[in-house]
Amino acid sequence: MIVVMLGPPGAGKGTQCELLGEKLALPHIATGDLLREAMARGTPLGQLARPYIERGELVPDDVMINIINEWLATPGHEHGFILDGFPRTVNQARALDQALARVGKGVDRVIYLSVPVEELLQRIAGRYVCPQCGASYHLRTSPPRQSGYCDQCGSTLTQRPDDRREVAERRMAVYFAQTAPVIDYYQKRGVLSEVNGAQSVTAVLDAELAILLTLPSRTHTRTDRHGDPSQI
Ligand code: AMP
């Protein structure tokens, strides 16, 4: 099963992709995480992406399309995968369709997480991450036990530089101008399902699973309570 997670910054795509990936035993890629790692390591990709990310703008399509094509060409994606943060433009969506069509596949379902803008900005403002182990926290909904420090590894928590209010507002504007048309693109293809992302994490996950597990069966897998992948 090939799933795309779509939604504005702060909608909860990252959290939901992690959880869905576990439940469905599917690998996932988060293009934002991949770019941040490249920036932290100072690779040529990281150097290229940094100014765009710091301004809250999109990294050029050709760069992102190459990244996804390379990822798709690596082993481990035969039974499907979940995309978080890609596609973000209609061009990227078309390129993904073309790449999948070449191997006789297509996007099975797009989950669009919708959340009101004011709620998104509040969520982003309270979001803190651990630079060491990647754990994420929210000052309002999931604060760390000791303020400012990671529960898992004790490191000092930081805010993503692009989560600062002015950059977050720019990201939101870029989302509405460039990514929102992707919703339309998938709606016309009949593969879009909207989920209310303003609910609790578990309610959102349940709604997504209800959609994905009732899809007409291609070859998708799920894990039972004990973690064994089983064909359904
Ligand atoms: P995210 O963590 O998904 O919010 O992504 C953080 C930033 O990475 C975005 O604001 C963009 O600058 C960049 N980025 C991530 N994915 C893409 C993409 N598919 N196309 C263009 N830029 C991207």
59: domain CATH number? 3.40.50.300
pLDDT digits (tens, 9 = 90+) for 122-177: 999 899 999 899 898 999 888 999 999 999 999 999 998 899 889 999 999 999 99
Give the number of domains in the chain. 1
Are 212 and 20 within 8 A, CB to CB? yes
Catalytic annotation, residues? 13, 88, 127, 160, 171
pLDDT digits (tens, 9 = 90+) for 194-221: 999 999 999 999 999 999 998 775 544 4
Ligand 1: residues within 6 Å at CB? 9, 31-32, 35, 52-53, 56-59, 64, 85-86, 88, 92, 162, 171
Tell whether 145 is covered by a domain. no
Atom number, ligand 1, closest to the C-alpha of residue 13: 3
- Whole-number percent of the chain with pLDDT over 90: 78
Q: How far apart are CA 130 and CA 172, in angstroms?
A: 23
Residue 158 C-alpha to ligand 1 middle, in angstroms? Answer: 19
pLDDT for the residue 224: 36
Tell whether 150 is covered by a domain. no
DSSP for 54-72 reads HHT-PPPHHHHHHHHHHHH
The count of residues in the chain is 232
Residue 56: which region, alpha, beta or left (left: phi > 0; alpha: psi -120 to 50)? Answer: left
Tell whether 106 is covered by a domain. yes
pLDDT at position 226 over 50: no
* Ligand 1 mutation target, pool 18, 48, 88, most atoms within 8 A of CB: 88
Tell whether 123 is covered by a domain. no
Tell whether 158 is covered by a domain. no
Tell which residue, 19, 17, 22, has the closest CA to residue 227. Answer: 22
Query: Residue 85's domain spans which residues?
Result: 2-117+166-231
